[in-house]
């Protein structure tokens, strides 16, 4: 009598390892920067000021792939701006940048390999009576799920900033992270620290009331 064929035992189930995580982007330096993105006014403009600085992560290392956007009022306080930052040549279709005449109030610049950035602009005026002039700054960087909001104030507005009720809860040393430092005539430095010691104050904007609130925001790690 023929012995029945027996099926081979099924192999033991192999445990599945975790799928490796990957971070693909965001690549802020690709497509978003544009020609003359930091030149709100041309070189040689009699009222131009230079604002520059570095972006540092929580370990104090420079962030070479951050992207910064600036929005500001002009010296008269008008926040209307003007079109033209992203002009394209109608013939070639290539980015032509600004026309060198109209003040758009907008800048977009990437940090370089050293985490450094620079814009050439005009001193902002108060956008409403008794308002403290400032440049609004948005920070995009690796490790950030959402961009960060902050402000740049020139040192000549330090007293007005200290009296601003929106920042009344901040101690002076924290409020100082919103102030640029004068390095020379019409040249200022403003470093951004995403975390750690001397972390820059970042802002939250609740729906009501329409006033910024200084709030801790997780930075890049």
Between 216 and 7, the more confident residue is: 7
Assign domain 32-193 to its CATH architecture.
Sandwich (2.60)
- The overall average pLDDT reported for the chain is 85
Instruction: Kindly report the pTM of this predicted structure.
Output: 0.80
| pLDDT per position as a tens digit, 54-94 | 999 999 999 998 999 999 999 999 998 887 777 777 888 77
- pLDDT value at residue 38: 94
Q: Kindly report the three-state secondary structure assignment for every residue of 124-147.
A: CCCCCCCCCCCEEEEEECCCCCCC
Q: pLDDT tens, 178-192?
A: 999 999 999 999 999
pLDDT of residue 7: 62
The DSSP symbol for 211 reads S
Give CA–CA dist 26/117, Å, rounded: 19
How many whole angstroms separate alpha carbon 111 and alpha carbon 121?
17
Read off the pLDDT of residues 88-116 as tens digits, 9 standing for 90 and up: 778 887 777 787 788 999 999 999 999 99
């Amino acid at each position: 009598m023929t012995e029945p064929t027996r099926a081979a035992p099924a192999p033991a189930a192999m445990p599945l390892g975790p799928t490796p995580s990957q971070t693909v982007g965001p690549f802020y330096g690709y497509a978003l920067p544009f020609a003359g993105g930091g030149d709100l006014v041309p070189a040689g403009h009699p009222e131009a000021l230079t604002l520059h600085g570095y972006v540092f992560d929580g370990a104090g290392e420079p962030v070479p792939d951050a992207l910064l956007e600036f929005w500001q009022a002009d010296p008269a306080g008008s926040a209307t701006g003007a079109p033209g930052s992203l002009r394209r040549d109608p013939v070639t279709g290539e980015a032509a940048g600004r026309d060198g005449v109209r003040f758009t109030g907008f800048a977009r610049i990437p940090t370089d390999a050293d985490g450094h950035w620079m814009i050439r602009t005009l001193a902002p005026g108060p956008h409403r009576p008794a308002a403290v002039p400032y440049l609004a700054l948005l920070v995009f960087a690796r490790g950030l799920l959402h961009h960060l909001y902050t402000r740049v104030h020139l040192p000549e507005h330090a007293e007005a900033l200290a009296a601003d009720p929106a920042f009344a809860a901040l101690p002076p040393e924290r409020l100082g992270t919103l102030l640029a430092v004068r390095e020379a005539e019409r040249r200022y430095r403003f470093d951004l620290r995403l975390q750690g010691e001397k972390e820059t104050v970042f802002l939250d904007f609740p729906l009501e009331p329409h006033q910024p609130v200084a709030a801790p925001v997780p930075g890049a790690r």
